Chains A and B, each alone.
Chain A
Amino acid sequence: MEPDSKSDGLTRVLVDERARLLRFLAARGAGDEAEDVFQDLWQRLVAAPAQPIADPIAYLFRAAENVLRDRRRSAISRERRQQDWHEASVGERDEAVGERVLIARQRLGEAEAVLAAQGPRVSQVFRRYRLDGVGQAAIAREMGVSLSSIEKDLQKAYRALSQLREKFDAE
């Protein structure tokens, strides 16, 4: 049909699914800003080049999730910039930076030990997912297990790493 029928199609789905997306945005904590976020989403989709999209609804939810994360991330980085500015004016010594790198290396060693302690499959799944960038379904196929057991392995890995971080924070 018309060359831009794909993007037209997507914005039509966006209009049709407006109520459902607003409900999701509200449940994801957008609160009063749900309408703003929806506008943001609309603008991104209109600006995006037309392309075939296999599952437009999942695509829209993913895009909505990304908009929310971007907003949160930029709020956090605004705070962090002010903090960095404070550190810069206080003046961080080179030795302090070196020491931090040293601590980070020790912690990396501990993190790898914690992963290894979760068993070979958990640490392999974690590596394939996080370091090699392989999708969860592909890892499940590779290892001949179900998607939900891959999810559980990742949950186990992240749970153990979270406990390790709590230990670090307490130090």
Chain B
Amino acid sequence: MGMNAAPHDMLRDDARLWAIRVGDPAFADWDGFNTWLEADPAHNAAYEAALDDLDAADALFDVPPARAPVLPRPAAATVRSGSGPRRWRAPAMAACVAVLAVGGGWLALDRGSMQEYATAPGQRRAIELVDGSRIVLNGGTRLALDSANPRAVTMADGEALFQIRHDSEAPFVVTTGDGTRLIDVGTTFNVVGEKGALSVKVAEGAVVYRGGGAEMRLDAGEMLTRATTGAAPRKQAVDPSTVGAWRTGYLQFSDTPLDELAADLSRNLGVPVAIDDRLATRRFSGTVMADGGADAVMARVGPLLDVQLERRGDGWMMTPNDGARR
């Protein structure tokens, strides 16, 4: 590059290029990367420094919008007004927060300043935060709150609806198990994360997704799906009124593949629901009432989806409704 680039600068520049290349989800030249790393032990250190450097450069753009409201405004209004970059990160706001755990029979482990919450499949619990925000955990969900940073949550897996009191100076950040960050710009959004697969639906306000070097803004009525940690996230429309509807006992589906629907049923009913491969690509749109126990729900769901549902061991098996059984 420069006229008299020192070897140190050249190494930094090479490392930066590798960090940029590896950061792309489609990167495939792992052998080339390995060869470069092995050529000199200093290369890995330079690469890690480059990763930090890229993060720090990205963070320059994480700033609240210039028009900070003097009076608190509804988050939705803040989001719809104006233009320009609306990405920001909490300037490490440290404050004390008390977590009011509602109900019993669920797990809350205290690890230093980290509080961990877990629900069993079929169980649901709400966490009320002192700032008025509320997190509703669906079954089979684990998440951790850090009392040292009340605007940050780590969600290992499962499903939760976040109803967040908006604070433009301290956005609420959900980090999933694989390090993906969801930065709340508005208020109500639902997250399903399991082993790198992710679905985020926004009912009100907006959420910024950040993972694998990519960033995407989701407004109300938009959803993002990502098949695996490394996969590219996809954006599509969602009916905002159906977001988090599982809390009411009604599960809403819109052109949902049946394997995803089976996973939703098992999270809500607390029983494993397996699905025959032949059904995996079939889709369903409509509402399933998930109250009244697994037996009653399965009896309703079978005819609705035009499938057979049979008990299989501890769980249920969904098979095509072929002529043989009629």
Seen from chain A, the residues whose Cβ lies within 8 Å of a Cβ on chain B are: 3, 23-24, 27-29, 44, 47-49, 51, 55, 57-59, 61-63, 65-66, 69-70, 72-73, 80-81, 84-85, 87-88, 92, 97-98, 100-101, 104-105, 107-108, 111, 129-133, 135-137, 151-152, 154-155, 158-159, 161-162, 164-165
Q: Select one of A23, A28, A66, A88 contacting B230, CB under 8 A.
A: A66
Q: Chain B nearest CB: distance from A36 CB in Å?
A: 17
A52 — nearest CB in chain B belongs to which residue? B227
The answer to whether A97 touches B229, judged by C-beta atoms less than 8 angstroms apart, is: no
Contact A162 B26 (CB under 8 A): no
Q: Is the CB of A151 within 8 A of B230?
A: no
Q: Are A101 and B64 in contact (CB under 8 A)?
A: yes
- Cα–Cα distance between A96 and B23 once the two chains are bound (Å): 34
A137 to B24 alpha-carbon distance, docked (Å): 9
Bound Cα distance from A22 to B57, whole angstroms: 31
Given contacts A88-B96, A104-B64, A108-B60, 12 further A-B pairs with CB under 8 A are A23-B34, A63-B230, A66-B230, A69-B51, A72-B48, A88-B148, A92-B94, A97-B93, A111-B60, A131-B215, A158-B53, A158-B57
B241 located at the interface, meaning its Cβ lies under 8 Å from any Cβ of chain A in the complex: no
Subset of 7 A-B contacts with CB under 8 Å? A29-B44, A47-B195, A61-B30, A81-B146, A81-B149, A130-B58, A158-B53
A65 to B21, CA, bound (A): 13
Question: How far apart sit A108 and B142, CA to CA, in the bound complex (Å)?
Answer: 36
Of A51, A61, A100, which one neighbours B91 at CB under 8 angstroms? A100
* Interface hits, B94-129 → A, CB 8 Å: 94-96, 112-113
Do residues A51 and B228 form an inter-chain contact, with CB atoms below 8 A? yes
Partner of A66 from the list B21, B51, B56, B179 (CB cut-off 8 Å) is B179
Residues of B within 8 A of A (CB): 1, 13, 16-17, 20-22, 24-28, 30, 34, 37-38, 44-45, 47-48, 51, 53-54, 56-58, 60-64, 66, 68, 85, 87, 91-96, 112-113, 146, 148-149, 169, 178-179, 194-197, 209, 213-216, 227-230, 232-233, 277
Taken together as a complex, chains A and B put the C-alpha atoms of A6 and B131 apart, in Å, by 46
Residue from A28, A63, A136 within 8 A of B229 (CB atoms): A63
**Is A81 touching B148 in the complex (CB atoms < 8 A)?**
yes
Tell me, in angstroms, the Cα distance from A42 to B106 when the chains sit together. 29
Q: Are A24 and B34 also in contact (CB < 8 A) when A92-B94, A108-B63, A135-B25 are? A: yes
Residues of B within 8 A of A136 (CB): 21, 24, 26
Q: How far is the CA of A23 from the CA of B31 in the complex (A)?
A: 11
Minimum Cβ distance to chain B for residue A26 (Å):
9
Which of A49, A65, A107 touches B22 (beta carbons < 8 Å)?
A: A65
Contacts A49-B195, A65-B22, A88-B96 known; A161 to B63 CB distance under 8 Å?
no
Query: How far apart sit A57 and B27, CA to CA, in the bound complex (Å)?
Result: 12
Asked whether A28 and B87 contact (CB < 8 A) given A62-B230, A84-B94, A159-B13, the answer is no
Q: Are B22 and A162 neighbours in the complex by a CB distance under 8 Å?
A: no
Query: With a CB–CB cut-off of 8 A, which chain B residues contact A108?
Result: 60-61, 63, 85
Give the distance in Å from the alpha carbon of A28 to the alpha carbon of B44 in the complex: 6
Write out the residue numbers on chain A whose beta carbons fall within 8 Å of the beta carbon of B85: 108, 131
Shortest distance between the CB of B45 and any CB in chain A (Å): 7
Give Cα A73 to B232, complex, Å.
21
Contact among A57, A70, A154 for B20, CB-based, below 8 A:
A154
Bound CA–CA A132/B61 (angstroms) = 13
Distance of A64 from chain B, by nearest CB (Å): 9
Q: How far apart are the CA atoms of A47 and B27 in the complex, in Å?
A: 24
**Residues of chain B lying within 8 A (CB to CB) of residue A48:** 195-196, 228
Nearest Cβ on chain A to B11's Cβ, whole angstroms? 13
Cα separation A92 to B38 with both chains bound (whole Å): 45
- Say whether B233 contacts A133, CB under 8 Å: yes
Kindly provide the distance from the CB of B180 to the nearest chain A CB, expressed in whole angstroms.
Answer: 10
Query: Cβ of A155 and Cβ of B16 under 8 Å apart?
Result: yes
- Whether B34 and A27, one on each chain, are in contact in the complex, defined by CB atoms closer than 8 angstroms, is yes
Q: Is the CB of B169 within 8 A of A101?
A: yes
Contact (Cβ within 8 A) B148 A70: no
Q: Are A66 and B178 neighbours in the complex by a CB distance under 8 Å?
A: yes
Residue contact B169 to A165, C-beta cutoff 8 Å: no
Residues of A within 8 A of B66 (CB): 105
Residues of B within 8 A of A107 (CB): 60, 63
Q: Bound complex: CA of A98 vs CA of B68, how far in Å?
A: 10
Nearest 8 A/B pairs, CB to CB:
A88-B94, A133-B214, A27-B37, A161-B57, A61-B30, A133-B216, A111-B60, A108-B63
Name B95's contact: one of A47, A66, A88, A159 (CB within 8 Å). Answer: A88
